[in-house]
Amino acid sequence: MELPNDCSANEMVDGATVHAAAAGDRSALQAIYEVTSDRVFRLMVRMVGQQDADDLTQQTFVRAFTKLDQFSGDSKFETWLYRLATNEALQHLRREKHRRTKELKVDPAMDATDQVEQDERVAMVRKALAQLDPEQRAIFTLKEESGLSYQEIAQTLGIPEGTVGSRLNRVRRGLRKLVEDRDE
């Protein structure tokens, strides 16, 4: 099996690769890792912060690779993997009993005034995200950062699709209010 040279953010893992990996094919395991590891890492950074993201990403892949035979194929492989990653992050947050927020990137091409304003906005959003319940943060992150559909988020978190929509709207309203309150 050839490893992908250029793993785009939209590249998906096919059923044959998952089946081969479940049968112990090392190149299939490597291909899955190459295609999905950046997305899982970004999800972890958003859920638990930069400091713990590496370890939790690795834990997610250890768990995924030992449970590949449990992947039923009823959903996309990535949805199943995001479910494992989200569970790892939520368990970590519960164990640690503290909340961390995602690191937001700042465009280095900004001038100094824009940079200061951007830094202030980043700090406000970071603070607002820190006030979210970890499960609300998971919904927001899966939608806004990972680009999952409501159906995929519902499958990932094991909640009804309508609940995803209502919770996402509540999170967006709450974040908007927190940011607006700070602007005043």
CA distance 165 to 19: 33
pLDDT band, residue 97 (cuts 50/70/90): low
Tens of pLDDT, residues 26-40: 999 999 999 999 999
Find out whether 73 and 17 touch, Cβ atoms under 8 Å: no
Q: What pLDDT was estimated at residue 101? A: 41
| Both tokens assigned to 127 | 């603070």
Q: What local confidence, expressed as pLDDT, does residue 3 receive?
A: 36
Within 10 angstroms of residue 51's Cβ, the number of other Cβ atoms is: 10
Q: Which residue ranges form the domains of the chain, and what is each CATH number?
A: 1-100 (1.10.1740.10), 110-184 (1.10.10.10)
What are the C-alpha distances in Å from 170 to residues 83, 115, 174? 22, 30, 6
Please list the alpha-helical segments (H only) found in the chain. 15-22, 26-48, 50-66, 77-96, 112-130, 134-144, 150-157, 161-183
152 half-sphere exposure, CB direction, 13 A CA radius: 17
Q: What pTM was computed for the model?
A: 0.61
Q: What is the mean pLDDT of residues 69-84?
A: 89
Q: What average pLDDT does range 47-68 have in this prediction? A: 91
Q: Please write the tens of the pLDDT for every residue from 107-149.
A: 555 555 667 777 777 777 777 777 778 888 888 888 887 888 8
Provide the pLDDT for residue 104.
44
* Distance separating alpha carbons of residues 23 and 47, to the nearest angstrom: 31
The distance from CA 24 to its chain's CA centroid, rounded to whole angstroms, is 26
